[in-house]
Amino acid sequence: FLYFPDMHGISFRIQISVKELLDTDVLLKLLFHLPVNYPSTLPDISVNSEQLTRAQCMEVKDKLLEQAKKHLSEPMVHDLILWVQQHLKDVIKQSATVCNEKTTLSKGTEDGIWMLLLHLDHMRAKTKYVKTVEKWASDLRLTGRLMFMGKIILILLQGDRSSIKEYLIRQKTSKVDVDSSRKKCKEKMMSVLCETEVQSQHKRFHSFEVKEYSTLQELEKEFETAGLETLFSEFVPPLLK
């Protein structure tokens, strides 16, 4: 929550996380600028999110401004935040159906390449686990990286959406590791940091590689090379806390 008072009113930034359709959380960044004569004047609102397309962000912003008009002359920011938490799904569903119609027309282009970033808590049977991940990536024609940096373990995958979904199912349901008594066990300590469609500014990985990094800077460089600086700064530093 950042707060910048200035001559022309007040601006503040709020990040909220909303449960979404794909069972992942959507992280929304809302920037409100309240003019001097707020609330008798509407606030300026901007909406950003790594997991939503630009069109969806615009759609959310338009809907928030519609809501804001209903609350004119009474403080409304809190109400708007509650509203977006409750209604984000519906807004996205509506704009998603529009997107889907477009993609069916342009099948065969780069449409539908998805990216998944996973965080694993630990690997006890590392050699076997790494082999399994490499095999799945190869079976499902996914490219990307399995990354080790200190205690941080990340898996970044790119490929068809259906393959990404299949990968997630395997990762959750197969006995990929061993527990403290060396019995085979399923992965219970995995978190999906991000699942999103690959945008044009992202570069595609051509292969799947396992890499170890000795510093955070090296890891950051790997993300930068792929045009994924924002993904890195959004999700990786919090893992160090």
* pLDDT attached to residue 23: 59
The span from the CA of 216 to the CA of 231, in Å, is: 14
Beta-sheet pairing, 44-48 with 113-120:
unpaired
* pLDDT attached to residue 95: 57
Contact assessment for residue 204 and residue 227, using Cβ atoms and an 8 Å cutoff: no
The span from the CA of 111 to the CA of 127, in Å, is: 35
The fold of 10-97 is Ubiquitin Conjugating Enzyme (3.10.110)
Every domain range in the chain assigned CATH 3.10.110.10: 10-97
* pLDDT attached to residue 227: 85
- DSSP state for residue 50 in the 8-state scheme: T
* pLDDT attached to residue 3: 52
The span from the CA of 230 to the CA of 194, in Å, is: 12
- b/e per residue 208-233 (b: at least 16 CB within 10 A): beeeebeeeeebbebbeebebeebbe
pTM exceeds 0.85 for this model: no
Annotate 100-145 with DSSP letters as a single string: HHHHHHTTTSSTTEEEEEEEES--SSHHHHHHHHHHHHHHTT-EEE
- φ, ψ of residue 222 to 5 degrees: the values are -60, -45
Pick the CATH number of 113-239 from 3.30.200.20, 3.40.50.1970, 3.90.1150.10, 3.30.70.100: 3.30.70.100
Rounded to 5 degrees, what angle do the CA atoms 43, 44, 46 make? Answer: 135
Every domain range in the chain assigned CATH 3.30.70.100: 113-239
Task: Give the number of other CB atoms < 10 A from CB of residue 81.
Answer: 16
Task: Give the number of other CB atoms < 10 A from CB of residue 101.
Answer: 9
* pLDDT attached to residue 219: 94
What are 190-193's contacts with CB under 8 Å, separation 24+?
Answer: 190/118, 190/119, 190/120, 190/121, 191/118, 191/119, 192/24, 192/116, 192/117, 192/118, 192/168, 193/117, 193/118, 193/119, 193/154, 193/235
The span from the CA of 212 to the CA of 224, in Å, is: 16
List per-block mean pLDDT (blocks of 10 residues) for the chain, which spans 241 residues: 60 80 75 86 89 86 93 90 88 58 37 84 92 95 95 94 90 88 86 81 85 94 88 86 72
* pLDDT attached to residue 131: 95
